[in-house]
């Protein structure tokens, strides 16, 4: 089996002030990529639900919720795949955070490597 070479891609980032709207951030990958980590940091402790979804290029029937977590008076969530999370060209990552109970700003960082082989 051939070894996959990887090159670190620039971070994809987004932020949202929860006092004005919930966070719904979707980013796509034009080339094959491997997700290294997805982190969410809140400027203050929040009590909200965070959902991270793989949106498949093959259609909604193939979408997968990677993590869904209820934060209770917390500021951070870090998701690191337990195995390889390889994306095909056209796959997307969607990060959502509700705004039912909190104000403050949430910041998302997605770290990925480009699969070159």
Q: What is the mean pLDDT of the chain?
A: 92
Strand-pairing partners, residue 16, are 106
Q: Which domains does the chain have, with CATH numbers?
A: 21-115 (2.60.120.230)
Whole-angstrom Cα distance, residue 55 to residue 61? 9
Q: What is the pLDDT of residues 61-105, one digit of tens each?
A: 999 999 999 999 999 999 999 988 999 999 999 999 999 988 999
Exposure class string for 13-48: b at 16+ Cβ within 10 A, else e: ebebebeeeebebeeebeebbbbbebbbebeeebeb
With vertex at residue 98, the alpha carbon angle to CA 93 and CA 104, rounded to the nearest 5 degrees, is: 105
Is residue 10 very low, low, confident or very high in pLDDT (cuts 50, 70, 90)? confident
């Amino acid at each position: 089996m051939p070894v996959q070479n990887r090159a670190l891609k620039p971070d994809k980032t987004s932020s949202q002030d929860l006092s004005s709207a919930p966070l719904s951030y979707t980013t796509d990958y034009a080339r094959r990529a491997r997700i290294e980590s997805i982190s969410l940091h809140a400027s203050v402790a929040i009590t909200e639900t965070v959902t991270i979804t793989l949106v498949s290029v093959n259609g909604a029937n193939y979408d997968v919720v990677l993590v869904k977590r209820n934060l209770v008076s917390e500021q951070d969530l870090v998701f690191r795949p337990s195995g390889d999370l390889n994306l095909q060209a056209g796959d997307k990552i969607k990060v959502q955070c509700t705004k039912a109970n909190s104000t403050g700003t949430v910041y998302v960082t997605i770290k990925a490597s480009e699969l070159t082989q």
